[in-house]
Structure 1
Amino acid sequence: MRWVKVLLIVAIIAALSAFAGFRYWQSRLEAPIAIEESTIYEVPRGASFDQVMGDLDERGIIAEAWPFRLLVRVFPDELPALRAGEFMLEPGMSGRKVIGLLGSDNVVTYPLTIPEGWTFEQMRVLLAAAPKLQHSTAKMSDAEVMAALGHPGEHPEGRFFPDTYQYHKGISDLEILRQAYQRMEKTLAAVWAERDDGLVIDSAYEALILASLIERETGVDGERHRIAGVFERRLERGMRLQTDPTVIYGLGDDYDGNITRADLRRSTPYNTYVIPGLPPTPIAMPGRAALEAAVHPAEGDALYFVATGDGGHHFSSTLREHNAAVQRYILNRR
């Protein structure tokens, strides 16, 4: 019977050793990673689990790679597949949490803000300068960009919704453009569906054009609908809109920061001092507030407005009153 006792003791020692080994293994998995501040770690595309663990080991982020390599062999079905991308490691995270993070969708994202009233050209410059974005459109013309988005032949101006978009490393600038295009389509359709009855404009695209003029004329919330009302009444009466932002847009690179009398007389497709009605396309990317103003113009009798120099405008119902307001603004500016 002595040998039975010996076997029992050996079995107990083996079990205790196994348990101690298991506890030690688990303690290594739960040990905090060796970083003192938030650190971006990138999982390369196509990297294997062993390669990533080895890299974390070499960088000193984890103390040892073997506990994690053993984990993937013992419990292969319980671990998420690693995802390529950038991940934010935080001090105090355990190695096990790091593995969970590297297999999640919680990649590092970057904001890209497209301001209201910007042109498509400005948007393209912004995209070209965005870090860690894949610049697929760098060598494309505007027409080629629209074709790549599935909208060949469309003029790009005004078609993209100004907002803040999030992207992660490797995302194409085409994806940002696609999201912004779809946002504008959806927003414009919703706004147009709620439009006032009896508007002079008769299509959602004309609303987009008008909204771009409103956006470029004012950033003051309380004025958008009033300016829309002025434009609405001028269109009803067959008066030219005579809005300076269309002159500037029509001048393109020839605009030097000042509008001259010659510029006001210059014939371009966009100069609303020369052409009747709306310009052929939007002149900027309007936000939702400008879109809503375009389809809900304020009632009133004002037919003119002039900037007062403090961000607002003076509205007039007669040319005489308007000219007096213009003279006051000129004197104030001097």
Structure 2
Amino acid sequence: MSRGRVVLLSLGLALATILVVGAFLVHRHLETWLVTPGPLAQDTELVIPRGAGLAGIAGRLQDAGVIDDALRLRVATRLSGQDRVLQAGEYRFPAQVTPAAALAMIEAGDRILHRITVPEGHTIREVWALLEQDNRLDGDMPPMPPEGGVLPETYFFERGEQRAAVAKRMEAAMRQALEEIWAERQEDLPFDTLEEAVTLASIVEKETAVASEYTTVAGVYVNRLRLGMPLQADPTVIYALTKGQSELGRALTRKDLQVDDDYNTYQRKGLPPGPIALPGRGALEAAVRPAETDYIYFVADGSGGHAFARTLTEHNANVRNWRRVQRAAD
């Protein structure tokens, strides 16, 4: 081998050694950088849009102060292959999160979940208004289901999720709850259909905010249905006047009790044509498993609950007491 070839070979080996050592040092540097606490001073939320790509994601992380070097992140992710699985969404990065931990969150899709709560006793119109007004959701509103068509509870969603998808989960939750609850119903109920059970549950929901009273209130109405007595439920009269589109905003009057409407249970015997609000699980369970009681009357007792009575004489005494409480409050 000539002297020149030996020199070239030596130079080539030296260069290869330098490259290998350099690559090793770069890799070690990136490994150290990835596990070093980042510059983020406080927890920060960041939206990574769809189609941002690795460069866009790295740039947004640097702009938000999550990392201090977008280029290093790009190199590190390409070396690890993580750039192929990074997911769009809204993330909450903790203070001083390491670049590796930030990458792991985005790779796992550990996105922020928001919540929307459907309160018991709301109408379907009120729930649809909540969905429509929540600017964290996207898309058009789906058709409104019948009154009583969604289950009151808390639902979680990601920013940008379609309103129709959240609404679909609400309706599915109600169908599942009804299937479970209806299967456990008493055998001697004075109504035959699931729809009637939801209607009774909605009245119970609007009559009392005291969960421990649900079954007793349901028992009173079941007794009235069996006796053929009008339910005389004030919330149904309110629904007859408003159709669930607004609050009545005042106390009921004697004239209101005379309104000619199928929802006026002072004027019509039996259950009204449909629910007047969204009943929760407690009210639904009470409607199909009411308390066994001989109460057929109840009135507010001034403490947030109700006084129950077996006879009209007892009831009238409870009414007089309630009026004394009202006068004292005025």
TM over 0.5: yes
Structure 1 255/6 Cα, relative in aligned 2: closer, same or farther at 3 Å? Answer: closer
> Which residue does 2:150 correspond to in 1?
160
> Which residue does 1:211 correspond to in 2?
201
Contact 2:30 2:76 in 1 (8 A): no
In the alignment, residue 23 of structure 1 is paired with which amino acid? R
2: CA distance, partners of 1:100 / 1:221:
44
> Which residue does 1:174 correspond to in 2?
164
2: CA distance, partners of 1:302 / 1:58:
67
Contact 2:48 2:89 in 1 (8 A): yes
1: CA distance, partners of 2:129 / 2:247:
19
Query: Which whole-Å deviations, capped at 9, do the CAs of 1:82-120 have from their partners, x for residues lacking one?
Result: 222111111222112212212322111111111111111
In the alignment, residue 103 of structure 1 is paired with which amino acid? E
1:185 aligns with 2:175: yes
Q: CA deviation at 1:60?
A: 4.1
> Which residue does 1:30 correspond to in 2?
35
2:132 to 124, 128, 131: 128
121-130 or 222-231, which deviates more: 121-130
2: CA distance, partners of 1:43 / 1:223:
48
Moved over 6 A (4+): 1-11
Three-state SS of the structure 2 residue aligned to 1:41 is: strand
> Which residue does 1:316 correspond to in 2?
309
Contact 1:80 1:100 in 2 (8 A): no
CA RMSD between the two structures: 2.3
> Which residue does 2:59 correspond to in 1?
54
In the alignment, residue 235 of structure 1 is paired with which amino acid? L
287-296 or 220-229, which deviates more: 220-229
289-298 or 46-55, which deviates more: 46-55
Structure 1 58/228 Cα, relative in aligned 2: closer, same or farther at 3 Å? Answer: closer
2: CA distance, partners of 1:289 / 1:254:
23
> Which residue does 1:151 correspond to in 2?
none
> Which residue does 1:326 correspond to in 2?
319
In the alignment, residue 70 of structure 1 is paired with which amino acid? V
Q: CA deviation at 1:58?
A: 4.1
> Which residue does 2:300 correspond to in 1?
307
Structure 1 40/303 Cα, relative in aligned 2: closer, same or farther at 3 Å? Answer: same
In the alignment, residue 226 of structure 1 is paired with which amino acid? T
1: CA distance, partners of 2:177 / 2:239:
24
Matches within 5 A, 1:263-278: 263-278=256-271
Gaps (5+ residues) in structure 1? 147-155
Structure 1 5/126 Cα, relative in aligned 2: closer, same or farther at 3 Å? Answer: closer
198-207 or 10-19, which deviates more: 10-19
7-16 or 38-47, which deviates more: 7-16
2: CA distance, partners of 1:288 / 1:90:
37
Gaps (5+ residues) in structure 2? none
Q: CA deviation at 1:9?
A: 7.1
Matches within 5 A, 1:55-134: 55-76=60-81, 78-134=82-138
Number of residues of Structure 1 aligned to a counterpart in Structure 2: 319
Contact 2:115 2:157 in 1 (8 A): yes
2: CA distance, partners of 1:79 / 1:73:
6
Three-state SS of the structure 2 residue aligned to 1:111 is: strand
> Which residue does 2:281 correspond to in 1?
288
